[in-house]
Chain A
């Protein structure tokens, strides 16, 4: 199977070309956040104060992970704080949400409406450590490993799980 190479930031045409089940490799800068920080980003968007932090969501990838000396790895994306952030972040320009676990039908529809996608990746932290080029905290450092981070990656592996209103999770 051919692996689709994706460079960040992602444009609309790349999302249009993707199908569920596609194997991808992500290259470039991606944002990392999870339970603690994603609701804070949503709050900034909804109060029109996102400009108070140094982050651009246009074409962004958000990886649902902590960042620590133990590495990175997907946390469960269907936790309330994380899954509820997906529609708002997609509307604000995020093009790819990266995590693990099934997302619900409403989330699949929101991804379709805002031309965004959800991809899953295995919890292969040792492998990811080999693919990371740089790490920096972008916002909310008081959240420790749950702060908003930006990492740069090369050849980061994932599989498209939901895009264009379709999902791999509907068969069971």
Chain B
């Protein structure tokens, strides 16, 4: 039921209305939080067939069983429903109603209320929020999205992608410089070493490492998010396959139980480079229900 929201909604529209935008943001969030994509489902099924460790296979089967219940009942896949990250792509000929950004924010809030999201926003001023001394809001709508990314595309349509980023991978994520020594192998091996060091403590394996490589820390993080948005477990590049192999060689396995399935795949996005011996690399070991993402396209025919 929820999967339909990932599909393109074709409407004869001249102006994309706030109502359409709000619904698109809401439906994208709910779909991201409750539904495995086809590439996830196929990859899990293939991993179960290949896995010889009985406890590892048990964990993979439970994750698939969970996905089926979540999609059927529209329950969250994981109780850590994550922090919404929104990427909006706007066509160069698209006409949007003037309060479109507010409509996106309202749609996210509405989706968190309906799914429901986890009420984990912390009350108080700056210090009180850091120290978590004033308790939590009881309303999931208070979990406001991270800064929203807006990108230009061609055409008269608009696409709203919502990604839900859980807390476990955030503990293990990292953005840092790598001296590239004119070798992509060197850069990606360094990124893999960071990942290997952390996936054994992640708990929620099998993971899908997302890697962004750019000129600044902000850009590398944004590219890492784009890798999560665009990656496909069934269409892996040579380097994505290599990273998956390196991580799987560690035999951490699902939940750390051992076995051959520590990573299901990897998503890499490489951006522009500056003349320098340094590349900025952002890594995030997305957990076993991630990347949780869905896109709704509002398109004029």
Contacts and interface: CB of A to CB of B under 8 A. Distances in A.
Contacts of B116: 69-70
Give the one of A21, A78, A100 with max B CB within 10 A.
A100
A70 B254 CA distance: 23
A71 to B, nearest CB: 4
Interface in B75-96: 75-81
A68 B75 CA distance: 12
A122 B255 contact: yes
A155 to B, nearest CB: 12
Contacts of B48: none
Contacts of A100: 168, 203-204, 255-256
B72 to A, nearest CB: 9
Q: State the main secondary structure of chain A at its contact with B.
A: mixed
A127 B76 CA distance: 10
Contacts of A125: 66, 70, 75-79
A171 B63 contact: no
Interface stretch (B51-59, B215-223, B226-234): B51-59
A48 interface: no
A65 B54 contact: no
Given A66-B120, A127-B66, A145-B120, A1 B54 contact: yes
Contact of B140 (A70, A161, A169): A70
Nearest to B199: A172
A23 B55 contact: yes
Interface string A1-42: 100000000000000000001010000000000001000000
Interface string B255-273: 1111000000000000000
A79 interface: yes
Interface residues of B, number: 51
Interface residues of A, number: 45
Nearest to B123: A144
B7 interface: no
B122 to A, nearest CB: 9
A102 B200 CA distance: 7
B155 interface: no
Contacts of A68: 79, 118-120
B107 to A, nearest CB: 18
- Which 7 A/B pairs are nearest by Cβ-Cβ distance? A100-B203, A101-B203, A124-B66, A144-B136, A126-B70, A126-B75, A73-B79
Interface of A: 1, 21, 23, 36, 65-66, 68-79, 99-102, 120-130, 142-146, 157, 159, 161, 168-169, 171-172
Interface of B: 34, 54-55, 58-59, 62-63, 65-67, 69-70, 73, 75-81, 115-120, 132, 135-138, 140, 167-168, 171, 200-204, 250-252, 254-258, 287-289
